[in-house]
Structure 1
Amino acid sequence: MFVDSDDWVHEDFCRKAYETVTDTGARMAIFDLCYTAGDSKEGYIHASLTEVGIYPSSDILRLRLTGDIAVYAWNKIYHRSLWNNIRFPVGDILEDDAVIHELIDNAGSITSRANADKSFDKWIYVQRKKRYEYIKEHHLEMLGIEKNNLAFSVLKYAEVLSRTPNGRHKMNELKNMLKNEKIMLEGASLKREMAFKLWYYFPGVFTAVIKAFRH
């Protein structure tokens, strides 16, 4: 688990988080969070997942692309094994965004405890508003980093879909979603932009390459 130094959690959060994964057998869980201003404990709730249950990794990766879940390391609990061979990139301002996709894929399935009981509002993760707006304002290089991480999210989602029985149909849905959401990847690293174009225009070749590297 992770907690940023200027955020806070309810004293029962760790216990509730642990109970969630032990009760369900999941290796990763995502929780709702509350955005506040300053030191206030009042704010608005951001629901990470709308229903209690267990979600396949492909669903979570899709929700990451639409912005429906937070991609950060906090507001989650992980089985230690998910972090094998995964480390935060040194010097990267968005270090958690750079690895969360691999963690989701490693988990296989993710559980949610959103609105699971009446104590829900007591153990959400709380984050101050405006922090990321401040970082973006003072670190223009974040724009390129975000594009790069977004490209990686698309490719990771496509890779996961290539392993599913109805992956081809969902890949077409992904293409339509990128068009409808107007998700543009110009500005990502050349390597990831080329990989994205390979998947977009030649999905069969992309899938074959992924399978070859996997073996």
Structure 2
Amino acid sequence: MKTVLITGANKSIGFETARQLLQNGYYVYLGSRDPQKGQQAVDQLKSEGLKSVEPITIDVDNPDSIKAARETLGSRTAVLDVLINNAGISGGFPQTALDANIDMFRQVFETNLFGVIETTQAFVDLLRQSQEPRIVNVTSGLGSLTLHNDPSWKYYHVKGACYTASKAALNAYTIVLAYELRDTPFKVNAVDPGYTATDFNHHSGPGTVPDAAARLVKAATLGPDGPTGQFFSDDNAPDTGISPW
């Protein structure tokens, strides 16, 4: 049975991703910053008959929490097949380039970029034990610099200085990580779940949580011939599924 760790998985897209991977026969380590909320999420899944799941407390903003999560997971399994870096924050809007407080930039980058890097580095040894390791970095269409510079893009005027910069930086990290692992069985990709109705955007998005989660699951379950180093976005590239960086 393949194993997966999903950060920020106690609700919304992360939670639904856990549900869909369980339905696909994976053993899920459900990451949550709050132990109580993580356990509640696990209990909900088990009440649905999805038993192969357990909570892992992990706060990606806290290096000690990441280290503790790695020790906990390492005591339960010698192999991690999939890491889904799903935890993220918006920082709140509006965010203008001239007026956004530098502390907001630091907070958003701490979660959306530095937390991903530290989590990936902490768990990569377990991923290396897998025959088909997968890393999915949950990004946003708003992280595309190409599209942000295109006045014809439907979201051209949706610009958040902190959030956009953090996701563009995450995309850059994904490119470098995929390059470094190009001659290994790893598949490393960035996935935009789309503009989805969640607490993250006050349920303003037109997309559904199940559809968004399915996009993450698709990247997490890529076969050996699947792509790596790509920016998947059905929202921004409905024809090809590949967004410009």
- Normalising by structure 1, report the TM-score: 0.31
- Normalising by structure 2, report the TM-score: 0.28
Between structures 1 and 2, the one with greater helix share: 1
Q: Max radius of gyration: which structure?
A: 1
**Does 1 or 2 have the higher relative contact order (CA < 8 Å, sep 6+)?**
1
